[in-house]
Structure formats: structure tokens, C-alpha cells
Amino acid sequence: MNPSSIDLTAFNTFGFAVSASQYVPVRSARELQNYFKAAPDAPCFVLGGGSNLVLTRDIDVTVLHMLAQGFAVYEESDSHVLVGVQAGHVWHDFVMSCLNNGWLGLENLALIPGSVGASPVQNIGAYGVEVKDCISKIKAWDRLHHKWAWLAAADCAFGYRDSVFKHQFLDDARTQPRYVISKVFFKLLKDPALWQAKIGYGDVAACVAQIAGDAVVTAQHIAQAIIQIRSSKLPDPQVLGNAGSFFKNPIVAAQVAQKLKAQYSTMPMYPQADGTVKIAAGWLIEQAGFKGLREGAVGVYDKQALVLVHYGQGSGLELMAFAQRICAKVFEQFGVQIAPEPIVY
Ligand SMILES: Cc1cc2nc3c(=O)[nH]c(=O)nc-3n(C[C@H](O)[C@H](O)[C@H](O)COP(=O)(O)OP(=O)(O)OC[C@H]3O[C@@H](n4cnc5c(N)ncnc54)[C@H](O)[C@@H]3O)c2cc1C
């Protein structure tokens, strides 16, 4: 492979104009292995679809662009199927292929941008489902031991927008991830009799009812509803730069939640299994007066306060400064810390 410099504007959904001094497209597991065998200790930056990134500067290490495509069935029974998917496969395309093949479980995660390889990194989630629920195991290059590693789902420390892949690094500055994911294995349902529709979140049930009418609800109906809802609420990165929800919903102790509820009765809260309480960050940001606000080249989307947008000609630094002002105002008003979801480089 012959590394060469490249403009990354089209490779990050915020559309920030940064470049990489060295760029290596990775189109197979073999290419990934060969790269690391040849340069075992060289620093790198792993890029998927660039939909969860804020690039604040040029990248001065080799960008490994994960582009390997395809999936295959590895095991099959009457009830389940085990499918291995290459890291560079487009996530939404895989979800659609699942529906076409009658594989159930990922329908609520339709239309999330990005690659399959990045899906475990922040344990993508939407409309009451997280990808961890369908992941069986992961094949990744272990840059610590210079060999392939197999991680069972239980080894991945999946949490809310979190996993082991966000915590294991080779360097103190946490820029060099230990694992580079090459293939994700999903255990999906085949038998519709075992499948349960998950439509309890937000306006999914109403939208599904509208689409399905009197028919029995299927995974296709749910995916169609999710696509419809997402398209109406979230900006298309091709039109307006963004990385989806910019802030994670903060999680607070039950006592803190109680105090906040007494003060702000309409604050949306979601009790968690461990007794903590998740608060809707979008509500906090809206109440703090930021919804629809534009500052220079960046702003808060007018239809969804959780989404920060880039109108063009701005920078990742500008966006991060704006995000910090939002965090500070929310903290000042509510005493609650909110934190960005995307990876900042
Ligand atoms: C409009 C919009 C809506 C969104 N909605 C949601 C949503 O509903 N739920 C949700 O969870 N997310 C959502 N996101 C965020 C984003 O789509 C996901 O986080 C997605 O999984 C990122 O995939 P990617 O390939 O673009 O990763 P990138 O942005 O390229 O990378 C993200 C991180 O993962 C690392 N990475 C990428 N590939 C690999 C690999 N193969 N091995 C190891 N590390 C890797 C990168 O180094 C980086 O640290 C949304 C984004 C947008 C733009």
C-alpha cells in the first residue's frame, strides 16, 4: 500500500476541512494484518464513516480508512443465525440486508450512519435498542500483542454509548486505540414466533400503527417507521453537517434526580435498572435557550436541541468552543454536567 495525503472534508459528516498526511484504505482483514505487520508500532487513526467525529486539526498520523465490505452466515439453526460482517460495511445497508433475509433484531437501529466496525465502539443505540443486544463476538487486531484477538460480547464492557474500545489505549494521551475492529458477529433471530416488536419508545408505536394498519406488525414496519421518524427529526449530513446527538444524556444519582424533579416538574427522566436516573440532555439544552441558536458557522439544530450543526466554512475548534458554552450554561442553570458523545481529535 502506498500512503498518500488526503483531504478529509468528505470523510467526516460535520464536513470540517482537515487533511491527513498519510491515508491508507483498508479493504480486507488481510490488508489490515499486513499493514500492522509492516508497521507494528506506528501511530494511526482509525476512520469509519466519520459520523461520530469532531476533527479539530489536521491528522498527522496515518489514517486507516476501514472499507472492507460484505457479510456471511457462519452458523444457522431454525431459530437463529450468526452473521459475520466486515468493519467497513455501511451499517444501514446491513440493517436493510437483515430485513431482506428475515433476520430480526436490528430493525430499530435503521438509518444510523457509519460503519459496522464502529457500531460496537460506542454501542450504538436508538429507539430502545442497543447494538450490544445482538453482538455475539468481535474480531479485532490487538495492537498491544500484535495479533488477532477475539472478544466475546461479555468482554466488551458495553454500556450506554460506551465499550472497552473507548477505554483501552496504547498511550497516555489516549490517541492510540488498542483494538482495531475487523469483523463484527451478530446473533440474530430467524424465527418470527420468538420475535417481539420494540415500539415503546417515543412516537414509534403511533408511526408503526399508521404504517401497518390492521396487519400484524413486522420488523419491516418498524424499520420503515424509524426511517420516517429519523428523516423528519434529524438533519441529513449531506445537507447540513452534524454527528447526530452531540451530547449524551446525563445520568445522575436518584437523590439528585428527586431534587431536580421537585424544582422542574416537566424535566424528562428515565430511571435506570441500577437506581440511577437518565435525564434528557435535549430538554436541558432547550431550557438553557440554545435550541435553534446559531453562532457563526455552528449552531444547535432548530428541530432537535441535542444536535449541533455546522453550516459550512467553520472549524471543529469553533464547534467545541460552542459546545463548551452550552455545557457551562446547562451546569450553571441545573447543576448537571453534560458531555459530548462524538470522539474529538
Ligand atoms: C445524523 C446522525 C444520526 C446519528 N444517530 C445515532 C444514533 O441514533 N445512535 C447512535 O448511537 N449514534 C448515532 N450517530 C453517531 C454515529 O452514526 C455512530 O456513532 C456510528 O457508529 C459511527 O460510525 P462511523 O463508522 O461513522 O465511525 P467514525 O465516526 O469513523 O469513528 C468513530 C470512532 O470509532 C472508531 N472506529 C471506527 N471504526 C473502527 C474500527 N473498525 N475499529 C476500531 N475503532 C473504530 C474511530 O477511531 C472513532 O474513535 C448519528 C450520527 C449522525 C451523523
Ligand 1: centre distance to CA 115 (Å): 7
Atom of ligand 1 nearest to the CA of 234: 1
- Hey, what CATH topology would domain 71-204 get? 3.30.465
Q: What is the pLDDT of residues 295-311, one digit of tens each?
A: 999 999 999 999 999 99
Tell me the sheet residues that pair with 186.
83, 135
Ligand 1: list residues with CB < 6 Å.
Answer: 13, 46-53, 66, 87, 112-115, 117-119, 121-122, 124-126, 165, 177, 180-181, 234, 237, 242-244, 343
Residue 235 has pLDDT above 70, yes or no: yes
Is 161 an active-site residue? yes
C-alpha cell at 197: 416488536
CA of 66 to the centre of ligand 1 (A): 12
Q: How confident is the model at residue 87 (pLDDT cuts 50, 70, 90)?
A: very high
Computed over every residue of the chain, the mean pLDDT equals 96
Distance 132 CA to ligand 1 centre (A): 14
CA distances from 299 to 5, 9, 50, 246, 247 (A): 30, 19, 19, 11, 14
Identify whether 341 is a catalytic site residue.
Answer: yes
Which residue is catalytic, options 107, 161, 163, 178?
161
Q: pLDDT band for position 104 (50/70/90)?
A: very high
Which residue's C-alpha comes closest to atom 28 of ligand 1?
Answer: 50
On whether the CB atoms of residues 247 and 339 are closer than 8 A, the answer is yes
Distance CA 337, CA 279 (A): 11
Taking CB atoms within 8 Å and a gap of at least 24, the contacts of 196-202 are 197/222, 198/108, 198/127, 198/128, 198/129, 198/222, 199/225, 200/128, 201/108, 201/127, 201/128, 202/127, 202/229
Q: Same fold for the domain at 4-66 and the one at 241-344?
A: no
Contacts of residue 201, defined as CB under 8 A and 6 or more positions apart, other chains included, come to 108, 127, 128
User: Is the pLDDT score of 339 beyond 80?
Assistant: yes
Confidence of residue 202 (pLDDT cuts 50, 70, 90): confident
Mean per-residue pLDDT, 250-254: 97
Mutate to test the pocket of ligand 1, among 12, 32, 36, 51 (most ligand atoms within 8 A of CB): 51
The pLDDT tens digits for 67-79 are: 999 999 999 999 9
- The predicted structure's pLDDT at residue 2: 41
- Could you identify the atom of ligand 1 that is nearest to the CA of residue 127? 8
CATH 3.90.78.10 fits 241-344, yes or no: yes
Task: Give me ligand 1 centre to Cα 122, in Å.
Answer: 7
Using most ligand atoms within 8 A of CB, pick from 52, 108, 229 the residue to mutate for ligand 1. Answer: 52
**Ligand 1 atom 19 nearest Cα:** 52
User: With contact defined as beta carbons under 8 Å apart, do 3 and 24 qualify?
Assistant: yes
Is residue 4 very low, low, confident or very high in pLDDT (cuts 50, 70, 90)? Answer: low
Whether the Cβ atoms of residue 46 and residue 343 lie closer than 8 Å to each other: no
What are 144-196's pLDDT values in tens digits?
999 999 999 999 999 999 999 999 999 999 999 999 999 999 999 999 999 99
What residues does each domain of the chain span? 4-66, 71-204, 241-344
For the cut 60, the answer to whether the pLDDT of residue 271 exceeds it is yes
Pairing between β-strand 294-295 and β-strand 4-7 as defined by DSSP bridges: unpaired
Closest CA to 29 of 78, 75, 85, 80: 85
Residue with C-alpha cell 489505549? 169
State the average pLDDT over residues 332-342: 97
Residue-level pLDDT at 5: 73
Entry pTM: 0.96
Express as a percent the part of the chain with pLDDT over 70: 99
Q: How far apart are CA 298 and CA 246, in angstroms?
A: 13
- Provide the CATH topology of domain 4-66: 3.30.43
What average pLDDT does this structure show over 105-124? 98
Centre of ligand 1 from the C-alpha of residue 340, in Å: 13
- How far is residue 257 CA from its own chain's centroid? 27
Atom of ligand 1 nearest to the CA of 53: 29
Cell of 261: 424533579
Q: Which residues contact 274 (CB under 8 A, 6 or more apart)?
A: none
Give mean pLDDT, residues 8-19. 98
Looking at residue 1, its pLDDT comes to: 40
